[in-house]
Each structure stands twice: as structure tokens, then as C-alpha cells.
Structure 1
């Protein structure tokens, strides 16, 4: 029913963020995870994710460290630790780290994150 952070490998998603799947049905189904995923994303200082959208997944981002800017549809706004954002399916979005420390985000997705549900809207 649990995972250990130190035992979870990081990988780079299609949008160019570094992700650790904290719980995902494709990996942790034996723990009872079925309908959602939870990941930690990191965006390095000065870096940004690629503008993209998901057609099926609703995402909730909770900023746990750092700060930056988020593009969400037609809006762009500042984010800092403690902020939470809901990204509805089909909404273009991107994170940019404008600080000098990593931007760290908890990402909850339902249905679970899938590479094939990520449409890049600009070149990486």
C-alpha cells in the first residue's frame, strides 16, 4: 500500500519535465492503484516544459517548492510553493521555472498519466 521515494526511478516525459511516478496503476496495481496517478515533477531553474495538453486526463498540480510561471489556456500567471491548479482535459499548459531552485510539483491525474494522451503543441 506504499512506495518509497528513494526506490522510484525518475524519467523524462514528453513535455520535458523530470517525473517520478509515486503511484501509478501501470506500476503499482498490486498496491490497489486503479484509477489515478500521483507523480512528482521537477523543472530545473531556467527551464520550461513544452506546451502540451491531455485529451483524457484531468490534472491537479500542487507546487511544493520553487516558483515560476504557468501558461493555462490563454492565461499566464505566477506560481509559488503552496499554490494548486486544476488543468481540465484539452487545456494547453506549460510550466516555466523563473527561480534559481528546482520547481517541484505534485501532479495528480485521473485517468492516470499516459504518454499517448500527451499532445505536444510546440517543438521540444
Structure 2
């Protein structure tokens, strides 16, 4: 498959992941021909929280682009705001809650690329 050099946000359909967040895959190897990572936007509705989960193989980076949240990362709990980036090592239990009146929007970079099979609900 020839790699996609560009995708349009408006052309990417949203779906729900196992953790309960709405995801829009911006680039994913299964569809776009890239190899080592995926990039998606996750939206957590105001007042909602994703389910506690972990990924056995995948390292994730969360970058907050809108809203405010409360991150649970292993035993740690801390606030996140626009401009914050969080490293989630493989095997680390995590979830995030949207606090405040607006939805929380996060760019999620996964390496290797996101796969439902690598998500274990806790």
C-alpha cells in the first residue's frame, strides 16, 4: 500500500474504543500505509471518564488540545490542560476524566499503532 501523505479531519469517521472515548484515527497503518505508529484525536465528553485500562505493547503519548482533565497514570493522579503532554508507558494502567464544562480533546500517538486487541480493561 502506498502511504497516505495527507488525510482530512472531516473525512475521518469517529468510533468508540473499548475505554469509552470517541476516537478519530488521523493516520493508521491499517488504512494509510504508515508503519510504526498511529495518530488519533480522542474526545471525552464533559464530566465523563474513560475506563481504566492498559496496553501490553503500546506506548502512548497524550497531547491535550482543548479542555481540561484529570489523568490517572498508575498510582499518580494529576490535572492536565491545553498544551500538556503525557507519556503512558506500555503496561501502565491509565484513564482520563474531562473536568470542567467543555469536552476534553486529546491527540493520541501510539507506537506500535493502536489495536483493540492490545487494550485490556481493568
* TM-score where L is the length of structure 2: 0.96
Tell me the SS of whatever aligns to 1:116: helix
> Deviations 1:70-108 (Å, cap 9, x if unpaired)?
000000000100000000000000000111111000000
- 2:72 counterpart residue number: 71
Please name the residue that 1:26 is paired with: 30
Offset at residue 68 of structure 1 (A): 1.2
Alpha-carbon distance between aligned partners in 2 of 1:99 and 1:18, rounded to the nearest angstrom: 18
Q: Give the structure 2 partner of residue 81 of structure 1.
A: 82
Structure 1 vs Structure 2 CA RMSD: 0.4
- Pairing of 1:1-124 with structure 2 (within 5 A): 1-29=5-33, 33-121=34-122
Count how many residue pairs are aligned between Structure 1 and Structure 2: 118
Distance 2:15 2:69 in 1: 21
Q: What TM-score does the superposition give when structure 1 sets the normalisation length?
A: 0.94
C-alpha deviation, 1:18, in angstroms? 0.2
Encode CA deviations 1:35-89: one digit per residue, 9 max, x unaligned: 1000000000010000000000000000000001000000000010000000000
> What is the DSSP-based 3-state SS (H/G/I as helix, E as strand, rest coil) of the residue aligned with 1:22?
strand
Q: Gaps (5+ residues) in structure 1?
A: none
